[in-house]
Amino acid sequence: MGRSCDFLFALAVFILLIHVHTSVSTVPNISNDEAALLAFKSHISFSPNNILATNWSSSSPVCTWIGITCNSRHHRVTTLDISSMQLHGTIPPHLGNLSFLVSLDISDNTFYGELPEELAHLQRLKLTNVTSNNFTGVIPSFLSLLPNLRIVLLSDNQFFGEVPSSLSNITKLQVLGIKGNFLVGEIPRELGDLRYMTFLYLSLNQLTGAIPPSIFNITTMQVIALANNNLTGELPMTICDHLPNLVGLYLSRNYLDGVIPPTLEKCRKLQILSLSINEFAGTVPRELANLTSLTGLYLGGQHLGGI
């Protein structure tokens, strides 16, 4: 009995050593980042004279490439910012190998196709900005697997389908921008669980149904932009009970009805209130005059009296 225990112990140590040995020799390093970026480069068709075409070359160190920042401690790629470089191409799965990536900004180009699921491996990612490209597909559900995301900007693309309720699992999310896509369905009430949200941009889609009251419950919220959708229903009288920091409320060009809540005066910091081209009735509440920070008030295009 004692003998076989010794034997098993020795075997366990042996296996452990082999495991440590193999995992040391396969620890990813900057060469893996370089391979991932060169794979990405091969999926980009460049506009004439594009600097990236020559700059991203194995003959110079990855960390000196344009748009790349590395951290000094691990010597790995942490930032990829190739915004506004007139690039045209697709995102290969290899980008998911940039395991130290914190910030991904490929905005304002003409990348197309879908965002690959392998991006779910980017567990350190805090910022994703793919605004103003030609991406398609549904809003990727893998985003909810990235627990460190603070900023997700997918605006002005060709994403379709619904706003996934799983986004509410990105508990640190502060900025969510999906304006200017082809989103349908209702705004998930689960978004109200995002306790650090400051900017929510869902304008210029085809969203329907009522605005879930839960999003008026996020006390950190500064801007709620839901204009140019097909939203219906009334605004709750409690709309401003928990929005002490709201500076912008953009709800114009929807099908909202009922009265304009006089309680909007409780959003003390409100600077822009845009409610035009809806189906509100009644009079403009005189309480709105109490909003001393207001610089823009847009109410036209409905059946209101008493301005």
Ligand X SMILES: *[C@@H]1O[C@H](CO)[C@@H](O)[C@H](O)[C@H]1NC(C)=O
Please state the closest distance from residue 69 (CB atom) to ligand X, in A.
11
| Least separation in angstroms between CB 50 and ligand X | 12
Instruction: Name, in order, each residue with C-beta under 8 angstroms of 157's C-beta and a sequence gap of 6 or more.
Output: 130, 131, 132, 133, 134, 135, 136, 180, 181
- Please identify, using beta-carbon distances, which residue of 127 and 250 lies nearer to ligand X: 127
DSSP 8-state secondary structure symbol assigned to residue 27: -
Minimum CB separation of residue 168 from ligand X in Å reads: 5
Q: Are 188 and 207 in contact (CB under 8 A)?
A: no
Tell me if 128 contacts ligand X by CB under 6 A.
no
| 32 near ligand X, judged by CB under 6 A | yes
End-to-end CA distance of the chain: 93
Give the burial string for 233-249 (b: 16+ CB within 10 Å, else e): eebeeebbebbebbbbb
d(CA 225, CA 211): 11
96 is a contact residue toward ligand X (CB under 6 A): yes
190 binds ligand X (CB under 6 A): yes
For ligand X, which residue of 107, 198, 254, 274 counts as binding (CB under 6 A)?
Answer: 107
Give the residue, chosen from 165, 220, 232, 271, that forms a contact with ligand X under the rule CB under 6 A: 165
Task: Based on the shown chain and the rule CB under 6 A, indicate whether residue 213 belongs to the binding site for ligand X.
Answer: yes
Minimum separation from the CB atom of position 87 to ligand X (A)? 11
Minimum CB distance to ligand X, residue 272 (Å): 19
Token representation of residue 214: 């839960």
Its sign, for the CA torsion 151, 155, 159, 162, is positive
Dihedral of the alpha carbons of 80, 78, 200, 210, in degrees to the nearest 10: 90
Interaction site with ligand X (CB under 6 A): 26, 29-32, 35, 55, 57, 60, 64-66, 83-84, 93-94, 96-97, 105, 107-108, 110, 112, 118, 129, 131-132, 134, 151, 153, 158, 165-166, 168-169, 184, 190, 192, 206, 208, 213-214, 217, 230, 265, 286-287, 289-290
